[in-house]
Amino acid sequence: DAMVIQNPRYQVTQFGKPVTLSCSQTLNHNVMYWYQQKSSQAPKLLFHYYDKDFNNEADTPDNFQSRRPNTSFCFLDIRSPGLGDAAMYLCATSVRTSGGETQYFGPGTRLLVL
Amino acid sequence: DAKTTQPPSMDCAEGRAANLPCNHSTISGNEYVYWYRQIHSQGPQYIIHGLKNNETNEMASLIITEDRKSSTLILPHATLRDTAVYYCIVKSGAGSYQLTFGKGTKLSVIP
C-alpha cells in the first residue's frame, strides 16, 4: 500500500547532540511537510517543500533544518536539541484534489531529549 | 484561514451515530472545511472535506449549513476504534498549504 513512512518511531538523543529524523513516501506526492506536536497540543507546521522549493514557517527556530534530496525522501535535522524539543515529529505529504490539498500523515517519530 | 470552534470533548455509545459540531462563522467563500482525526500516539488521519455541499465517503458524512458558518461530522455507527481527537480545519484551496490545527474534540466511544 502507498504510504508515508517515518523511521525510527522512537528516537532518543542527548542535549545538544545533532539528530536526524527520516520520512519517505510511496505516494509520489510533490509536497512534503514536517510538523511538531508537543504533549497534549495540536500539531504545528515547521516547514514544507513544494518539489524542491523550501518554505519555512516564520516562527520555526533556526535549530531546525530540512533536506529533501528527491521526491520520496525528506529529513528533519535538529542541530542542537534542547529539552524543549522533545515532541512527536510528524511528516505529511499532499496532492491537489478537486478542491484544496489533502494531507496524508505518517505515524510520527517521538523524540526524547536527555 | 478562518478559525474554528469545537467542543473539547464528547461521548458516544458504541453503535450509535456520533455527531461532531464545528463553528466557523468567519469562513470565506474560497475556504474548505476539512476534518482529520488523531488516534492516540498516531499521526492525524484525513477523514473528509467539503466546500458547500454535503459530502459522504466510506468513513463519514459532512453536513455544511447553507450559510457555511457551521458544519457537523457524522460517524454513522461509532466503534471503539473511533475514539480519537477530531479536528475541524478551515483552509483555503489552491496555493494554501498550511493546516492550522485547533484544540479539536476528544470523542470517547463507550461500550
Q: Which residues of A touch B87 (CB under 8 A)?
A: 42
Q: CA-nearest residue of chain A to B34? A: A102
Question: Which residues of B sit within 8 Å Cβ distance of A?
Answer: 32, 34, 36, 41-46, 49, 51, 87, 91-94, 96-104
Q: CA-nearest residue of chain A to B90? A: A100
Q: Which residues of B touch A96 (CB under 8 A)?
A: 94
Question: Residue A62: what pLDDT?
Answer: 93
Compute the C-alpha angle B88/B93/B97, nearest 5°: 75
CB B43 to CB A103 under 8 A? no
Alpha carbon dihedral A52, A58, A62, A68, in 10-degree steps, equals -10
Instruction: Give A71→chain B minimum CA distance, Å.
Output: 17
B84 CB neighbour count, 10 Å cutoff: 21
Q: Which residues of B touch A111 (CB under 8 A)?
A: none
Q: CA-nearest residue of chain B to A103? A: B46
Question: Residue A97: what pLDDT?
Answer: 65
Partners of residue A108 on adjacent β-strands: none
Q: In chain A, what is the straight-line distance between the N-terminal and C-terminal CA atoms, in Å?
A: 36
Query: Contact B78/B18 with Cβ under 8 angstroms?
Result: yes
Query: Contact A79/A63 with Cβ under 8 angstroms?
Result: yes
Mean pLDDT of successive 10-residue stretches along chain A, which has 114 residues: 88 96 94 94 92 90 95 96 96 79 92 96
Question: Which residues of A sit within 8 Å Cβ distance of B?
Answer: 4, 6, 31, 33, 42-45, 48, 50, 55, 57, 88, 90, 92, 94, 96, 99-108, 110
Task: Going residue by residue through chain B, which has 111 residues, state the pLDDT in tens, using 9 for 90 and above.
Answer: 568 999 999 999 999 999 999 999 999 888 899 999 999 989 999 999 999 989 999 999 999 999 999 999 999 999 999 999 999 999 876 666 778 888 899 999 999
Q: CA-nearest residue of chain B to A6? A: B43
